[in-house]
Structure 1
């Protein structure tokens, strides 16, 4: 768990969670909850789609630690897509998918992506593009399917590193412990840089 100095260093930071409505397994759903809890414990608020499945699990975890949980959706789709999960604190309604993705990414201090359908794939690839062309944003691929997708993208050279487009912003976390360790490493690095400033 992050200490007080790390929480102060992260105050006001935002994590974006991308994950599907149909978890691949109970383990994936538990992992999403643990990720939400770890993010909140490290001082992040959470942006997510607002609906069920992995999004709800991450929101439940973040909410259990007192984090602000915001649903980002499309105008007019809230009635069609159903009610937000009960852990959502507030919501933002945007006119189209482009505005929705831009809102997520412009507010992100880090992104966590897990498995899902084509919508999650769209969100993840937009985040990868954003992090290589607009500004570096930390992206964690968690669980089992998202890291496999990353491997495929690298093997097929859809995603590759160049001197002008480094991929140091990418990390994988197959377990809750691995994710917490990577967050703790960020806490340690940021706390050290604040202490040395």
Structure 2
């Protein structure tokens, strides 16, 4: 993680699986801001908006990252986005997220969130071991499935030490504390 500011990328869908999941996303956003992270997210509603609301409540910069030709179709950004980036295609969008990420957080969502999450896991195993935290029951069920079906497994050349899970907001904050102390100790 860099010393000037840290950037967390939040992947979450436009629909929460439950009110509890939406509250978790908001707490995650708040915790990220309190730990000094800026937030990059898709910019729209649902879990993205909940995380942005939490981050904005603590004064963090919240950047919406979208596709230039889809913004009108997908609608206005949530009211917590303080900046936006409009990119030409999905590959450029994913690269923007991952190249700027000091931390990736995934909660739940649809096929778009699944795409982002698997791209982030691939990036972390092949390009740069960006820490990832999967949080909440939807993301944890997906992770269990990916491991059980051997879509995601550890090898000597593809270690999974970057990956953490958090069932609760408290567990998420504990991971942030550990990451913060690791980055200070490693600097």
TM-score of the superposition, structure 2-length normalised?
Answer: 0.96
Shift of 1:58: 0.2
Unaligned runs of 5+ in 1: 1-8
Shift of 1:25: 0.7
Q: How many residues align?
A: 186
Q: Does the 8 Å contact 1:10/1:43 carry over to 2?
A: no
Partner Cα distance (1:108, 1:170) in 2: 14
Shift of 1:185: 1.2
Match of 1:23 in 2: 16
Q: Does the 8 Å contact 1:70/1:88 carry over to 2?
A: yes
Question: Could you report, residue by residue, the CA deviation over 1:133-170 in whole angstroms, capped at 9, with x for unpaired residues?
Answer: 11111111001011111111111111111111100000
Shift of 1:190: 2.5
Specify whether residues 177 and 152 from structure 1 end up closer, same or farther in structure 2 by C-alpha distance, changes over 3 A only: same
SS at match of 2:8: strand
- Residues 41-56 of structure 1: pairs in structure 2 closer than 5 A: 41-56=34-49
Question: 4+ runs of 1 displaced by more than 6 Å?
Answer: none
Shift of 1:10: 5.3
Larger radius of gyration, structure 1 or 2?
A: 1
Residue 159 of structure 2 is aligned to residue 138 of structure 1: no
TM-score of the superposition, structure 1-length normalised?
Answer: 0.92
Match of 1:104 in 2: 97
Shift of 1:192: 3.2
Unaligned runs of 5+ in 2: none
Question: Which of the numbers 130, 149, 153 marks the counterpart of 1:156?
Answer: 149
Residue 64 of structure 2 is aligned to residue 64 of structure 1: no
Over aligned residue pairs, what C-alpha RMSD do you find? 1.1
Q: Does the 8 Å contact 1:131/1:169 carry over to 2?
A: yes
